Chain A
Amino acid sequence: MNDLLEILQDLHPEVDFETQENLVDEGILDSFDIVTIVTEVSDTFDIRIPAGDIIPENFNSAKAIYRLIQRCMDEE
């Protein structure tokens, strides 16, 4: 989780990612940010995130992104 928070903080230092639950719905993360996160996460955790999993529900909070990472790791 710490690695993920570091990636997110790098992108938007002004956001408290531990408490935010609507990152996509409130427009804090846009499509460019999401692609950057997917790229960084894929690199750091050595996983492939399928395009079909890029939906707002999977990116609305750090916890949701982490759950997605774990699921992709399980499926590897």
Chain B
Amino acid sequence: MLFASYEFIGFLILTFLVYYLIPRRWQWGFLLLAGYIFYALADPRYLLFILFTSASIYGCGRWLAARKAAFRERFAREKEGLDRERKKAWKAAEGKAQKRILLLGLLSNLGILAVTKYTNFAIVNVNAIRTAFGGSALPMVDLLVPMGISFYTFQSIGYLLDVYWDKISAEKNPLKFALFVSFFPQLVQGPISRFGDLSKTLCIPHAPSAEHIVPGLERILWGYFKKLVIADRMLVAVKAIIADPDTYGGAFAFAGMLFYALELYADFTGGIDITIGTAQVLGIEVTENFRRPYFSKGIKEYWKRWHITMGTWFTDYIFYPMSVSGGMQKLNKWGRKHLGDRIGKRLPVYLCSFAVWFTTGIWHGASWNFIVWGLGNFVVIMISQELEPLYDRFHKRFAVEGRTPWKIFQVVRTVLLMSLLRMFDCYRDVPLTFRMMGSMFTSFHIRDLALSSLTGLGLGAADYGILLAGTILLTLVSLAGRKGSVRARIMTFPVAAQCAVWFGLFLLVILFGYYGIGYESSQFIYNQF
């Protein structure tokens, strides 16, 4: 069931009505049922996978919690009679036992993710090697890839690690934990919530209140505006450009790059608006996933503002544990001794950063395009990190820091760089992507960007007018958002003015949404990850 479908809107209305009509103590249980129905409607077999993840992670979490409590109690009782060394040895042995439970939960779930999502990618690569040496190709396998498996697996793993690190207590109620894994608004494209955050409002009773229902509905509407008016319309031209790279190189590839950046932003942030808005209507708070990313002045800042919950997940659960592990600490010492202080200090950090970006890439999709995209981000971040002293000297010499033209330059540079890397999402393979990137510099003809050329891409002049107006509106709302929530400010307007604003937006979606009879809205881009 796509978010942008009549079925989903019907499902939402029914869910909202039942949620507020049943006794409040049943609300969270009903959400669990709704989540499973939502999931089963996509494919009933998916349920087996999400049930396994819920049960295995819940079980490991409870096991860890019980073991930790038993150890604490025994240690407090018996530590007096032990010397320092024996206490240390006892703690180390207990630590190993707890780690085994953790690994059981992690490996079983990551194993399922790896097999379902990456088996065919592995076969393709093995076949490339086999055929190069004259061998025969292995057949591909037909595997079921459960919807949103990357999102709910990572969310569950985060929970187990938090229990392991004593950041949170293990949830006692298996059904409440199952709801955390399968909360339907965020099941297919995130955000990747933390148990400590989501559980605060997920299972408590919620009375219907205009204070959260109205802003929630407004946010859903804004999400549909982004998705239907901008993203789905822009998709038509993007598809036309990438489908025929021989015809559409040079300036067309450049236009395609910018069009895809706009489409991706409107699609993903629109989907997240629908997710967060739906949760808000239900009285549940979901972590924000974006903070005006296209206004970032550098790539590091961009990654703190785009898909925030994914970035922090990778930092907290991969980058930090790997960086401070015994192996990396040893590498640090070895590097400083043999390669000097400067390189030795950086070596482990860069190695971990490489691992994070490789994982980020492959998490997005089982293809070399995504891996190269991830590593492209790594390279740009490393270069900017290394050039920081040079930037500082430049800023001091020319006193440009903080000046508006310089800020605008930094923002444009970041958007162009990020959009360039995103071209790997679009084209069928890595060499073709590089060829199209090159064509933007070798065969750029400005006349190709004339409206008469762009209208050959499946969109009319009116469509481009709508896209331009929609982009201006998005930009203005983003700029206004710097001083706090735009919706909160609209709520201070007289009721008639508020109604006019939201009814106007509703009309824009109805009149200018890119659909018609027989048209089916496209899937959200991040659904496939």
Enumerate chain A interface residues (CB-CB to B < 8 A). 27, 30-32, 34-36, 38-39, 42-43, 48-55, 76
Contacts and interface: CB of A to CB of B under 8 A. Distances in A.
Contact of B315 (A27, A31, A49): A31
B323 interface: yes
A25 B260 CA distance: 32
A51 B320 contact: yes
Contact of A35 (B88, B304, B323): B323
Contact of A38 (B165, B323, B385): B323
Nearest to A52: B165
Contact of A54 (B162, B166, B324, B328): B324
Contacts of A76: 88
A72 B161 CA distance: 19
Contact of B349 (A36, A48, A51, A54): A36
Interface of B: 88, 161-162, 164-167, 300, 304, 315-316, 319-321, 323-326, 328-329, 332-333, 345, 348-349, 352-353, 385
Given A31-B319, A35-B323, A39-B348, A52 B166 contact: yes
Contacts of A30: 300
A35 B329 contact: no
Contacts of B304: 27
9 contacts: A32-B349, A32-B385, A38-B324, A39-B324, A43-B329, A43-B333, A48-B324, A52-B166, A55-B167
A35 B300 contact: no
Nearest to A14: B392
Contacts of B161: 52
Given A35-B349, A38-B323, A39-B345, A54 B316 contact: yes
A54 B320 contact: yes
A39 B320 contact: no
Nearest to A38: B324
A30 B348 CA distance: 16
Given A30-B300, A39-B329, A39-B332, A51 B345 contact: no
A42 B349 contact: no
Contacts of A51: 165, 320-321, 324-325
Residue among A27, A48, A53, A54 facing the most chain B CB atoms (10 A cut-off): A54
Residue among A27, A48, A51 facing the most chain B CB atoms (10 A cut-off): A51
B303 to A, nearest CB: 10
Contacts of B332: 39, 43
A52 B353 CA distance: 18
A32 B166 CA distance: 24
Contacts of B167: 52, 55
A35 B320 contact: yes
Contacts of A42: 324, 329
B345 A52 contact: no
Contacts of B164: 52
Contacts of A54: 316, 320, 324
Nearest to A31: B315
The 10 closest A-B pairs by CB, nearest first: A52-B165, A51-B321, A35-B323, A54-B320, A51-B320, A38-B324, A39-B332, A35-B349, A31-B315, A51-B324
Contacts of A43: 329, 332-333
Nearest to B319: A31
B166 A35 contact: no
B430 to A, nearest CB: 28
Nearest to A49: B324
Contacts of B300: 30
A38 B167 CA distance: 19
Contacts of B166: 52
A35 B331 CA distance: 13
A31 B320 contact: yes
A35 B352 contact: yes
Contacts of A52: 161-162, 164-167
A4 to B, nearest CB: 17
Contacts of A48: 324, 326
B165 A35 contact: no
Residue among B324, B332, B345 facing the most chain A CB atoms (10 A cut-off): B324
A63 B319 CA distance: 24
A35 B320 CA distance: 7
Contacts of A55: 167
A72 to B, nearest CB: 11
A2 to B, nearest CB: 20
Nearest to A51: B321
B333 to A, nearest CB: 7
A49 B88 CA distance: 15
Given A30-B300, A35-B352, A36-B345, A50 B165 contact: yes
A50 to B, nearest CB: 7
B496 to A, nearest CB: 40
Contacts of A38: 323-324
A39 B330 CA distance: 10
